[in-house]
Amino acid sequence: MTAIGVTSATSGSADSLTVGRRIRHLRREKGWTLEQLGAAVGRAGSQLSLVENGRREPRLDLLRSLAEALGVTVTDLLGAEPPSRRDALEIAWERVQRSPLYASLHLPEVKVGPRTSTEVLEALVGLHGELVRRATEQAATPEEARRANRELREQMRARDNYYPEIEQAADGLLQAVGHGAGPLSQRVIAELAGHLGFTVHRVDDLPRSVRSVTDLRNSRLYVPLDANGLGHDARTVVLQTLGHFVLGHSDPDGYADFLRQRVEANYFAAALMVPERTAVPLLAGAKAHRELDVEDLRDAYAVSQETAAHRFTNLATRHLGLPVHFMRVHRSGVIHKAYENDGVRFPSDATGAIEGQTVCRHWTVRVVFGATDGSAPYRQYTDTPTGTYWCTAHVDRRPGAGTDDTDDFSVAVGVPYAHVKWFRGRETTERSTSRCPEETCCRRPPTELARRWDGYAWPSARAQSHLLATLPPGTFPGVDDTEVFEFLQAHDTTG
């Protein structure tokens, strides 16, 4: 691997700067001056100087003459790699000074000569590399984040939220440790980590900005001592982290890439906890008996309602032929996650993003909060402008959230009316009508209430300040690098 900024302009092919430096390197090896080489090829030394400095691209006939005079082939002259470390640095610095970023700094040109030390060149190129890194660090605005979410959702819909390559990777790993069926135990998870060369360590001083930290030097994976108290299944945290390595993820090059990697790692973890090999026969058998139920996946594999719902959407369309939609909605009605390939119309903003939008209060995913039995699934038919949908919803309280119901979320899975015949709970008599996005559906207060209170109410809004700010910068948004490095240093056993 070459140093930052010290690479050829195009991977695998030469550019004029590299060709020029190769010519100069070979000329100096022969002990020739520019005039001597010019005499050998019938060109003025000043013309060859332009070629060596990358200011003029040599024609093929000149390249042939130069190759013959220098005792090499044309292919040798066109090699993509600089002939030496020094040449690589000089090429990198030349490119730096031709870059838009350098031009925007309005700095004078720095000419590199024989007396310019290699250390100075290293420093100049390194400084520019750091400027580029800081200039391109992720600082995604809310608009960019919503756009990335929308584009990723479109990609998921195009493939029915099914990733065969991740299914294959997860299945191969399970077979490697000999896991057959049933819930994934902590012992099996430790075996999975060990098979991949990692050891798992549960600690109580993990930085607050992360869910896990991996020490790549010592192959140690650190997770919170009580992940459940943070609202995460302890197994999921480990499996998602392993997923990044199994799937070959590298440092994300932007927020969209960061988001894609998270989705893939989450999918990988769910595919391990609810394996396709055993889940599909379970679901197919339930469909044959018209007894499909997301709760059966949850109970059979001892996973959360959300993981079971996610996993159902992964497998339902590809293996059962069922179009579906999924939602995770806060008690306030704000959408946190959603997916659909069944034609249901989610609320969206002008960019087409749905995250952060408020769902109709007549939809199952919101009505469930008022259901009398919060522990049981709530089923409902909802008539919408795009058709009638049946949904099953469940309130998913975060572990450790205490009695504060503001932390409550509901998770719902739904299908168009034509497909409800395959599901348990289809006999429900609960039904509502949603006219959203029509204002009179649920966004505009009833006439009598508005007449009595309009102009006499002054609510103090709970400001969601994070929605107004850019996403925290950094390779991994929101992660405090100093905390992470200090944590790893404190746990380092290598001295």
Q: In this structure, what CATH number is given to the domain that contains residue 399?
A: 1.10.10.2910
pLDDT at 198: 93
Same domain, 150 and 130: no
d(CA 168, CA 268): 10
Domain stops at, among 82, 105, 136: 136
User: What does the mean pLDDT of the chain come to?
Assistant: 84
Q: What's the pLDDT tens digit per position in 311-322? A: 999 999 999 999
Share of the chain above pLDDT 70, in %: 87
What is the three-state SS of 334-383? EEEEEEECCCCCCCCCCCCCCCCCECCCCCHHHHHHHCCCCCCCEEEEEE
**pLDDT at residue 406 greater than cutoff 80:** no
Same domain, 325 and 411: yes
Share of the chain above pLDDT 90, in %: 42
Q: Which residues of 450-475 are buried (b: 16+ CB within 10 A; e: fewer)?
A: eeeeeeeeeeeeeeeeeeeeebeeee
Task: Say if 408 falls within a structural domain.
Answer: yes
Same domain, 154 and 242: yes
d(CA 493, CA 324): 49
CB atoms within 10 A of CB 14: 20
pLDDT at 464: 55
Q: Which residue has the higher pLDDT, 158 or 12?
A: 158
Same domain, 222 and 74: no
**pLDDT at residue 3 greater than cutoff 80:** no
**pLDDT at residue 354 greater than cutoff 90:** no
Task: Say if 353 falls within a structural domain.
Answer: yes
- Per mean pLDDT, which range of 14-28, 63-77, 207-221, 315-329 is the poorest? 14-28
Task: Say if 232 falls within a structural domain.
Answer: yes
**pLDDT at residue 136 greater than cutoff 70:** no
By CB atoms closer than 10 A (0-12, 13-18, 19+), residue 242 is: buried
Report the phi/psi class of residue 178: left, alpha or beta, with left for phi > 0 and alpha for psi in -120 to 50.
left
Q: Which residue has the higher pLDDT, 48 or 5?
A: 48
The type of residue at 29 is E
pLDDT at 111: 85
What CATH number is attached to the domain comprising 58? 1.10.260.40
E-assigned strand segments in 207-364: 213-215, 220-224, 325-330, 335-340
Range of the domain at 23: 16-136
DSSP, res 400: T
Q: What's the pLDDT tens digit per position in 269-287? A: 999 999 999 999 999 999 9
Same domain, 193 and 216: yes
**pLDDT at residue 159 greater than cutoff 80:** yes
**pLDDT at residue 440 greater than cutoff 80:** yes
Same domain, 215 and 358: yes
Same domain, 233 and 377: yes
pLDDT at 133: 67
Kindly report the pTM of this predicted structure. Answer: 0.68
Same domain, 279 and 323: yes
d(CA 245, CA 410): 31
Same domain, 27 and 88: yes
- The residue-averaged pLDDT of 150-176 equals 94
Task: Say if 370 falls within a structural domain.
Answer: yes
- Per mean pLDDT, which range of 20-29, 88-97, 422-431, 479-488 is the poorest? 479-488
Task: Say if 108 falls within a structural domain.
Answer: yes
Question: 327 and 337 in contact (C-beta within 8 Å)?
Answer: yes
pLDDT at 139: 52
Same domain, 213 and 123: no
Same domain, 129 and 157: no
pLDDT at 91: 84
Task: Say if 473 falls within a structural domain.
Answer: no
Task: Say if 466 falls within a structural domain.
Answer: no
- Per mean pLDDT, which range of 146-150, 218-222, 298-302 is the poorest? 146-150
d(CA 116, CA 90): 10
**pLDDT at residue 267 greater than cutoff 50:** yes
d(CA 354, CA 343): 14
Domain stops at, among 109, 136, 163: 136
Domain stops at, among 136, 170, 202: 136
Confidence of residue 103 (pLDDT cuts 50, 70, 90): confident
The type of residue at 15 is D
387 has which bridge partners? 384
**pLDDT at residue 138 greater than cutoff 60:** no
d(CA 292, CA 348): 30
Q: How many domains does the chain have?
A: 2
Task: Say if 331 falls within a structural domain.
Answer: yes
d(CA 318, CA 287): 14
Same domain, 358 and 399: yes
